[in-house]
């Protein structure tokens, strides 16, 4: 099993938590807040990223942990895709889009690295 004592110690979980907070902040105002479908979907995808990291860790085997990290990886891609809709609908500025998208990319890369590590041990 991995070298973490608790899921809160996992750096990618910490970054996913930051992403959740930023997504909630971005979706809480203006037109974005009124587009219930997109708002709720992007929030659920961001939450799914963070929650699947924690749930996978709790499974206590590298194989299951890696499987949940794959799900988290898919969820962070879903956030990125939803961000394009938000940008196209002018719910977020280009700068806000870029910041959130970059956070997602970093999380995606971290998840990929952790998956590779787990599969090699």
Residues in the chain: 121
| Domain contains 104 | yes
| Domain contains 2 | no
| Domain contains 1 | no
Q: Of 16, 7, 2, which is closest to residue 66 (Cα–Cα)?
A: 2
Global confidence as pTM: 0.94
- For the cut 90, the answer to whether the pLDDT of residue 1 exceeds it is no
CATH code for position 92:
1.20.1440.60
For the segment 11-63, what is each residue's pLDDT rounded down to a tens digit? 999 999 999 999 999 999 999 999 999 999 999 999 999 999 999 999 989 99
| Domain contains 82 | yes
| Domain contains 36 | yes
Task: Tell me which residue range forms the domain holding 61.
Answer: 7-120
∠5-113-87 over CA atoms, to 5°?
A: 110
What is the phi/psi pair of residue 40, to 5°? -70, -35
Distances (CA, A) of 99 to 19, 27, 60, 66, 74: 10, 14, 33, 27, 19
Are the beta carbons of 58 and 39 closer than 8 angstroms?
no
Q: What letter does residue 28 receive in the DSSP assignment?
A: S
| Domain contains 66 | yes
For the segment 78-108, what is each residue's pLDDT rounded down to a tens digit? 999 999 999 999 999 999 999 999 999 999 9
């Amino acid at each position: 099993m991995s070298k973490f004592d608790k899921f809160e110690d996992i750096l990618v979980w910490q970054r996913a938590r930051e992403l959740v907070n930023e997504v909630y902040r971005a979706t809480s105002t203006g037109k974005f807040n009124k587009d219930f479908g997109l708002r709720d979907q992007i929030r659920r995808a961001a939450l799914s990223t963070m929650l699947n990291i924690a749930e996978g860790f709790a499974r206590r085997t590298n194989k299951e942990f890696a499987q949940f990290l794959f799900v988290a990886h898919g969820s962070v891609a879903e956030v990125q895709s939803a961000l394009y809709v938000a940008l196209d609908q002018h719910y977020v500025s280009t700068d806000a889009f870029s910041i959130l998208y970059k956070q997602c990319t970093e999380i995606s890369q971290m998840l990929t690295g952790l998956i590779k590590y787990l599969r090699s041990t």
